[in-house]
Every structure is written in structure tokens, then in C-alpha cells.
Structure 1
């Protein structure tokens, strides 16, 4: 839009310049003639440049099987991350570059059905590996692996080597197209204190089952004998309160244990393009193993449509993960 407006202004200025007769008027001096000729040529060049810029886009609409091929470490290849524009960091985390930071990895594939190492590095604006990261919910790096149809989800906290290389070990990935996300906050440099989410496509070879349809929007879901109920209406682009309640056997659960500095962790992914959104918990005092049954979150989903929300909570030393589909109007 900005480019089109600038081109229109250039054409308008050139038209006025030509019709004013300055180009044909005999100048009072040689210097004035040279200035007029130079200005005319510059305006003509601007018009020519505008006309030659095509309407191509490196970010066409993504299909359901997003991330079938990894983007280049330089961040210039966007073939596996079109459809950007949602959620975290202003683009839903659907790029391997942002604000001069790059997510770099040689791993484009991981084997199916077994634990395997995925290694990556965050390169800063200075071209060097970033090694200083701030704590975010007790961790310096949150790593997510999400399958294209949202039937697969893993949230890990990788380990960083001294040279800035992180190693995550997703377990038992099903064959198909996946996307991996790195969520972090630099502790120094140009991006100090800024929350960033970068991602890359990942392929898990093998016989791929037909993508499963996303479950219909619902207000509750079950996992490991627990029932999770969600209350609240979501409106795209507007912050709304969201309450999650946990029960078991019809009775409220009040023994939730701390997990990542709170009593639950909630992450959302948009259907189709896998845009990322982290729903932050409302401020609440963590008082030992006495959390629940109600948990409050600040929910701001930037785009309308169906979102798959993954809630993680801990009881009896075991981490539980449940998922529910919500629609943002």
C-alpha cells in the first residue's frame, strides 16, 4: 500500500512538472537548464521503477499442511511460512527472522516414533550466536513442536551449550509436516527485554495419515481423568478474560502444583497456518500445591477463526496436557 501511494505521488508530480512547460522553457542560465534536466530524469526514473515493481508476494496463503519444507537459515526463503500476520511478535511467529534475529538449524527432518535431537541457534543482529536470554516463566527458552493438523503438540525446554547451540529432544513425532517454534527474550543487545517467537518447518518422513479435522469448538475437554472447562468469549484483536476450571469426578481440583511459576500454562495455535499465541496467566500468588480449581488468563488472539488451545497443568508430580478448540469472532 505504501509503495503504491508513493508511485502515485511520483506520477502526479512528474505530470505536473511536464505540463508546467519547464522542460521546454528556455532557461536563464546553463546551471538552471542542467538542474531542470536532472530533475526531469530523476522523476522519470522514479515512475519507471514504480511501474516495474511487480505484484508478487513471498507470503501467499498457507494451506493446512504448513511447513512441509524448512526455510533457509538466511531467512530469505519464505516458501514454508506464507500466511503470516497473526499473533506473537506481530507475525504469529511464522517466520525464522524478526528484528534482526534469526532461527538457524541444519535439521530439516526428524525420524518418526522415536526421541531425536533437534539443534538450533539464535543469531543476533550482530551476526553472532545469542547466548544471553532472560527468564520467561522460569525458563530461558520455550520450544514447541506442532503438527500441521494440530493433532501433535510438544512443549519442551531445551538445553543450551556454551556456543549458543540449543538442543531439544521431541519424543515420538508422527509422520507428517510439523512446525517448531522458539520463544525467548534476549537479555542483551538490540532486542533486550523483547519477547520474540521464531519458527521453522520440519518434516517427519513416513507414511502420513490423512490430516484429521480440527475438533469443533467446545467449552470443555478431558485428559487423564480430569475435566477442563473454559469460560469466556474471544474477540479477535481485543484482550478478554478467560477462566479455566479443573475438576475430577465432578469435584473441583484444588491441589494443582506449580508449573513454570504458575499453576497452568496455556498456548494457542491458529487453524490452518499454525500462528502462535501465548495466553499469559493473570497475576496470582503461587502458594505451594494448593492451586485451582479456577485459573485466570489474559486472552488476546489477533485473528478471527478457530484456535486450538493447549493447557498444561501438574498434579501429583505428573504433567497433564489437554486441548480445546475455541473460536475468536
Structure 2
């Protein structure tokens, strides 16, 4: 499978709370709630409205204050004058729900236009506090600038919602933003311990193996290999302009990191090896979510990776 070091246009510089860097892989998710159907992953769940870990504007809006800050870990609802606003603090338990939000610019008005990133103008993620629930959606925007993310049923607990976008005009034109807020899903929340770090996992009959030595503060190449029935997978189809989408979340604070694919999608013949550029800023356990497509079906896999 041909590989070219090409970075999709809008991906946020993978940073999270703490120092900067280390590669992560695991399995990502990108797509609509109907796309994310991984067992026990609670894909399409809502973030909880417990508390919004947002630093003061004097801190998160400061240029260069990325590493170790809430803005850098994608845990702030505002950055450089741009803000994620929502009146939604609670979402219904165990039933589909709509999360409505708006992205406003430095002038306080809804941002009117967004650049395409992997064929979408907005990528939206919902992750449960224990990293068991995950959804990657592509919301729709109304004429007034309001966005709606249609979430699948969510388990009770605290959830964080992430909006990933790039304005196509104004002071933030061409800059990648990832803003987030929390929501609460009422009910008895049974917290699940994060699975131990491993290099191999399975999903929908596929075996996913991650190769790489993650280390906080350093960027590393990461390789994800896929097989099925003991045979290498070579029929991956392009999904969102690439063969796989990989997202990582840090245990404890849900810090967000987007891992950049470097393998170019050229047809329905992707695999078995997929190359990524991973840079995880904080040591500890990261839960990675990988999405890939075969035969018109989207698969989601997850794995825990230890970053030293």
C-alpha cells in the first residue's frame, strides 16, 4: 500500500494535558452515530455536564500556550476568541438525543463558514469519562450557524463533547481548533476500569496490531496492521479521504489527540499496514479508537496504549 507523508488539511496538532508528545495508536472513530457500532464502546454518547475544564481567557487565548494547558489538551470551550456554546447540560439516558451547539468567533457571532477536513466541515466526538463510551459524528449546521449532533443512546455518567473545526475566514482562518464542553447523563453510572495496555485487539473478526514505542514529549511513527482469519487485510476502502481514522483520549482527564495518517488512500485496496504520525504530549494510558471500512461497512476498534 503506497504511503506518502501527507497530512490532512485540518487536523489539530495532537496535544493534550501535560508535556508534549508521544505516539499513540489504537483505534479511532470518525463518522455518524450509525457508523460507530462497536460493542461496549457506547459510540454516540454525550459528554456530561459536570464541569467544563476551561482555563481563564487570559490563559487559553494566549498564543503559544498550548502544551499542558486546557486549550492544548482540548479541554477548554474557548481559544483565541473562538468559543463553543451550548445550552445543553443534561442529555437523556439510554435513548438517542440531539446535542445542539454554536461556534462563535471573536466578534461574538456564529462563525459562518468552515473549511473541509477529510471531506467534512465539522468532526464531533463524544467520550464518556471512563473512556468506555465513544462516538464520532459529523453534525449538520443550520442557516443561523447552529449545529446539531444526533447522538445514539448514552449510558449514564459524565460525557465530554469535542468539536473539531477550521474557520475559513476571520482571524482564525486556516487554524485548527478543538473545543469541548461537558454534559451529564442521569442515572446510576457504573464506571468500567480501563483495559490494560496491549498491542493487539480484535473487532468484527479483524485483528488489529499496533507497532511503535510511544514516549511522552516525542513524535514517533506508528504502524497499524490489520488481518482477518490469519490473512493480511488488503481490501480497505477509503473513509473520510483516508484508509483509517485514529483518535486518542488520555485516561483521567479525557485529553484529546488526533493522530495523523500518512498512508494515502488510492482505491479499495488498502492494507494491511497503515502508517500514522503520532505525537502524544502526556505520559500515562491512552485509549485509541480506530475506524476503517471494508465492503461498505465501517468498523471501530479500540486499544489502550501506554505512553512513558
TM-score, normalization: structure 1?
0.74
Residues 88-167 of structure 1 mapped to structure 2, 5 A cutoff = 91-167=72-148
Please state which structure has a larger fraction of its residues in strand: 2
Displacement after TM superposition at 1:91 (Å): 1.8
Matches of 1:158 and 1:73, distance apart in 2: 23
Please state which structure has a larger fraction of its residues in helix: 1
Q: Is contact 1:220-1:227 (8 Å) kept?
A: yes
Verify: 1:265 aligned to 2:259, yes or no: no
Computing the radius of gyration from Cα coordinates, the structure with the larger value is: 1
Which string of whole-angstrom CA distances, capped at 9 and with x for unpartnered residues, describes residues 194-244 of structure 1?
A: 1110000110111211x1111111001111111100000011121100000
Matches of 1:213 and 1:318, distance apart in 2: 29
User: 2:164 aligned to 180, 183, 194, which one?
Assistant: 183
Q: What's the counterpart of residue 249 of structure 1?
A: 229
Q: Is contact 2:249-2:256 (8 Å) kept?
A: yes
**5+ unaligned residues in a row in structure 2: which ranges?**
1-16, 18-46, 60-64
Q: Is contact 1:73-1:103 (8 Å) kept?
A: no
Matches of 2:226 and 2:85, distance apart in 1: 39
Which string of whole-angstrom CA distances, capped at 9 and with x for unpartnered residues, describes residues 78-97 of structure 1?
A: 9xxxxx97679952110001
Q: What's the counterpart of residue 199 of structure 2?
A: 219
Q: Is contact 1:312-1:321 (8 Å) kept?
A: yes
RMSD: 2.4
Q: What's the counterpart of residue 276 of structure 1?
A: 256
Matches of 1:183 and 1:215, distance apart in 2: 27
Higher relative contact order (CA 8 A, sep 6+): 2
CA spacing shift, 1:175–1:86, aligned 2, 3 Å: farther
User: 1:305 aligned to 280, 284, 289, which one?
Assistant: 284
Displacement after TM superposition at 1:126 (Å): 1.0
Matches of 1:313 and 1:88, distance apart in 2: 31
SS state at 1:218 partner: coil
Displacement after TM superposition at 1:285 (Å): 3.1
